[in-house]
C-alpha cells in the first residue's frame, strides 16, 4: 500500500494521525511501511554489492598489470575522492533544494542508474578494451605499453563511473531521512546495515576467489543487478511534499554568494568543525586500507583464505548490527561511536604484530581471523550509530548540505593521505626490497596514527555536544528546531 500524502486517517492506518507512522507529509500503514523497507533494503543490497565489486576487483586488475602502489592509490583513491570533494557538495545542496513530482531525491537515483550499470560493465572488459585500443594508441610512442593503455582506460572508466555513482553515494543516504518515520529509524538503519554486510559476506565468501579468473562475469552481473535494483526502487518508493527551499543567494543562477553561504552555514560552529575533523582524519586512516589485501597475501594467505576471513567478520558484524542500532537508540549514537572508534584504533595497533613476528600460514590465518572478528564487533557499533549520530548533530532541514561538507572533508583526507600513502609504501618497498612484500605490513601503522587522532577529535565533539545541552537540550546550531523530550537518559 502506498503512503498517504496527508495526515488524514485511513481505514487501514494504525490509528488516526499516528505520529509513529508519519514522516513529513507521508503517513504509512503497516503494510506500506513494510513495503517501503523492502524496496529500500533491496536497493541497499544492490548498491553495496556494486561498491564492493569495483573497489576490490579493480585493485587486483591494476596489480596484475604491474601498477605501482602510488598508481593504485591515484586510480582507486585520489581520482574518486577528488571528484567526491568537488561534486558531493554540489549534488547534495542541489538535492536539498530540488523539487519535482517524484520528490527531491528519487530523480537523482533514477537518472544515474543506467549510466552506473553501463560503466560498471565496461570496467569488467577493461583488459579486452585495452587490447583493442593498444594498436591505435601504442603506435604514438614506443614507451606506451599495453598495460599502460589498460591502466589509462581504467582511469577514464572510473572518472565516468564515479561521476554518476556520486549521485547515488550521496543522495541515497538522504532519502532515508525524508521517507522513513523517525520512530522506526533505528530499526531500519539496523536492518540496512545488516543487508550491506550480507552483500559483503556473499561477495567475499563465494566470489572474491574468482576475482582474477572471472572478472568480466563479476562486473557484468553486478552491473545488471544494480541497474534493475535501483530502477525498481526508484519507481516504487514515493516521497512526500516539501516546503519551498530557502534561497542561498538573492542572485539568479550560480554565484559566489552560494558558495559563501554553504561554507558559512556548515563551518561557523565548533561542533560541526570537530565532526568534519573526525571525518578528515578517518579518511586519512582509510586511505591505504585497500592494501590490507596485499598485507594478508604477504603473510602467505590465499584469496580463498582472505575471502573466508572477510566473510567470517562480515557474519559477525551482520549479527551485531541490529543490536548495536538498538543500543544507539537507547544510549544516544554519539555515546556508541566514541568508544567504538577508540577501540578500532587499539585493535589496529595490535595488527602491527606482523611487523615483528613471522607466523606460519595457519597461524597467520587464525590471528588475522581473530583480529578481523574483533574489528567487526567494533565496526558494527560504529557503522550502526554513525549515520544516526549525524542525524542528531546536523540540522534536519539542511541535512544533505551538512553531510556533503562532512563527506568533502573525508574526501580531502583520503586524497591527501592517498597520495602520501602510496608513496609511503613505494619507499618502504625499496627499503625492504630483499624481503618481498613485507613492506605491506606497515599498512596498520599508518592507519593507527590517524585513527587515534580521529578518536581524539570525536572526544572533543562529545565535550562540545555536552556543553550545548547534550541529550536533554542539544539543538543543532543555526537550526530552527526545538529541544525534544529525550527518550534516553
Tens place of pLDDT per residue across the chain (489 aa): 345 444 333 333 444 457 888 888 899 998 999 999 999 999 999 999 999 898 888 888 888 888 888 888 888 878 888 898 888 888 888 888 899 988 999 999 999 999 999 999 999 999 999 999 998 887 777 788 888 899 999 999 999 999 999 999 889 988 998 999 877 877 787 788 788 888 988 888 889 888 888 999 999 999 999 999 999 999 999 999 888 877 665 555 545 677 788 888 899 899 999 999 999 999 999 888 878 888 999 999 998 898 889 888 888 888 888 888 778 878 889 999 999 999 999 999 999 999 999 999 899 999 999 999 999 999 989 988 898 899 889 987 788 889 889 988 998 998 888 878 888 888 999 999 888 889 999 999 999 999 999 999 999 999 999 999 988 889 999 876 555 544 444
Determine contact, residues 394/267, Cβ cutoff 8 Å.
no
Domains and CATH numbers, the chain: 23-241 (1.20.1250.20), 264-472 (1.20.1250.20)
Determine contact, residues 32/1, Cβ cutoff 8 Å.
yes
H/E stretch holding 384? helix 361-393
Cα dihedral 126, 64, 161, 382 sign: positive
pLDDT in the model for residue 123: 94
> Which grid cell is 430?
625499496
Residue whose C-alpha is closest to residue 228's, from 37, 35, 47, 32: 47
Q: DSSP letters of 293-322? A: HHHHHHTT--HHHHHHHHHHHHHHHHHHHH
> Which grid cell is 386?
554513525
> Which grid cell is 69?
602502489
What are the Cα distances from residue 199, in Å, to 53, 309, 486?
A: 10, 15, 35
Q: Which long-range contacts (CB under 8 A, 24 or more apart) does 55-62 make?
A: 55/290, 56/203, 56/208, 56/211, 56/293, 57/211, 57/215, 57/218, 57/219, 58/123, 58/154, 58/158, 59/290, 59/293, 60/211, 60/212, 60/293, 61/126, 61/127, 61/154, 61/215, 62/151, 62/154
Determine contact, residues 341/386, Cβ cutoff 8 Å.
no
Residue whose C-alpha is closest to residue 46's, from 225, 271, 280: 225
Cα dihedral 364, 367, 373, 374 sign: negative
Spatial separation of the C-alpha atoms in residues 209 and 214, rounded to whole Å: 9
Radius of gyration of the chain (CA): 23
Residues whose CB falls within 8 Å of the CB of residue 311, separated by 6 or more in sequence, listed in order = 201, 204, 205
Determine contact, residues 131/153, Cβ cutoff 8 Å.
no
* Cα pseudo-dihedral 355, 358, 361, 362, rounded to 10: -100
Q: Determine if the pTM surpasses 0.75.
A: no
H/E stretch holding 27? strand 26-27
Give 50: exposed, middle or buried? Use CB within 10 Å, 0-12, 13-18, 19+.
buried
Determine contact, residues 133/74, Cβ cutoff 8 Å.
no
H/E stretch holding 26? strand 26-27
Amino acid at each position: 500500500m502506498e503512503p498517504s500524502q496527508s495526515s488524514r486517517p485511513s481505514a487501514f492506518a494504525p490509528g488516526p494521525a499516528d505520529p509513529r507512522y508519519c514522516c513529513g507529509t507521508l503517513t504509512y500503514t503497516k503494510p506500506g511501511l513494510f513495503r517501503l523497507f523492502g524496496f529500500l533494503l533491496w536497493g541497499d543490497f544492490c548498491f553495496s554489492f556494486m561498491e564492493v565489486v569495483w573497489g576490490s576487483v579493480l585493485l587486483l586488475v591494476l596489480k596484475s598489470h604491474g601498477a605501482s602502489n602510488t598508481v593504485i592509490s591515484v586510480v582507486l583513491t585520489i581520482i574518486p575522492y577528488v571528484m567526491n570533494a568537488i561534486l558531493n557538495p554540489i549534488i547534495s545542496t542541489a538535492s536539498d533544494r530540488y523539487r519535482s513530482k517524484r520528490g527531491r531525491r528519487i530523480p537523482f537515483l533514477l537518472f544515474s542508474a543506467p549510466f552506473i550499470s553501463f560503466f560498471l560493465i565496461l570496467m569488467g572488459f577493461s583488459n579486452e578494451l585495452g587490447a583493442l585500443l593498444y594498436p591505435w594508441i601504442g603506435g604514438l610512442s614506443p614507451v606506451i605499453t599495453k598495460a599502460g593503455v589498460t591502466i589509462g582506460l581504467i582511469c577514464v572508466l572510473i572518472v565516468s563511473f564515479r561521476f554518476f555513482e556520486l549521485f547515488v553515494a550521496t543522495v541515497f543516504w538522504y532519502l532515508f531521512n525524508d521517507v522513513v518515520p523517525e520512530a522506526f529509524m533505528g530499526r531500519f538503519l539496523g536492518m540496512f546495515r545488516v543487508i550491506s554486510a550480507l552483500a559483503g559476506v556473499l561477495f567475499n565468501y563465494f566470489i572474491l576467489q574468482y576475482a582474477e579468473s572471472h572478472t568480466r562475469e563479476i562486473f557484468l552481473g553486478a552491473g545488471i543487478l544494480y541497474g534493475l535494483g535501483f530502477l525498481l526502487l526508484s519507481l516504487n518508493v514515493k516521497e512526500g511534499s516539501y516546503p519551498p527551499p530557502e534561497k542561498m543567494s538573492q542572485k539568479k543562477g550560480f554565484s559566489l554568494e552560494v558558495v559563501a553561504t554553504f561554507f558559512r552555514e556548515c563551518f561557523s560552529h565548533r561542533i560541526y568543525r570537530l565532526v568534519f575533523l573526525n571525518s578528515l582524519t578517518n579518511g586519512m586512516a582509510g586511505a591505504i586500507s585497500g592494501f590490507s589485501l596485499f598485507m594478508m597475501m604477504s603473510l602467505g594467505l590465499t584469496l580463498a583464505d582472505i575471502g573466508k576471513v572477510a566473510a567470517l567478520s562480515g557474519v559477525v558484524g551482520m549479527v551485531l548490527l541490529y543490536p548495536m542500532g538498538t543500543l544507539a537508540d537507547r544510549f544516544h549514537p554519539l555515546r556508541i561511536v566514541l568508544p567504538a572508534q577508540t577501540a578500532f584504533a587499539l585493535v589496529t595497533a595490535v595488527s602491527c604484530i606482523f611487523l615483528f613476528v613471522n607466523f606460519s600460514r595457519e597461524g597467520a590465518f587464525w590471528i588475522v581471523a581473530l583480529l578481523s572478528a574483533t574489528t567487526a564487533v567494533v565496526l558494527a557499533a560504529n557503522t550502526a550509530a554513525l549515520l544516526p549520530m549525524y542525524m542528531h548533530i546536523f540540522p534536519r532541514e539542511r541535512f544533505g548540505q551538512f553531510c556533503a561538507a562532512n563527506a568533502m572533508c573525508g574526501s580531502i583526507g583520503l586524497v591527501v593521505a592517498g597520495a602520501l600513502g602510496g608513496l609511503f609504501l613505494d619507499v618502504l618497498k625499496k627499503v625492504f626490497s630483499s624481503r618481498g612484500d613485507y613492506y605491506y605490513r606497515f599498512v596498520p601503522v599508518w592507519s593507527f596514527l590517524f585513527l587515534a587522532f580521529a578518536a581524539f577529535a570525536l572526544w572533543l565533539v562529545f565535550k562540545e555536544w555536552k556543553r550545548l545541552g547534550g541529550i536533554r537540550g542539544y539543538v543543532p546550531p543555526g537550526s530552527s528546531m526545538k529541544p525534544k523530550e529525550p527518550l534516553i537518559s
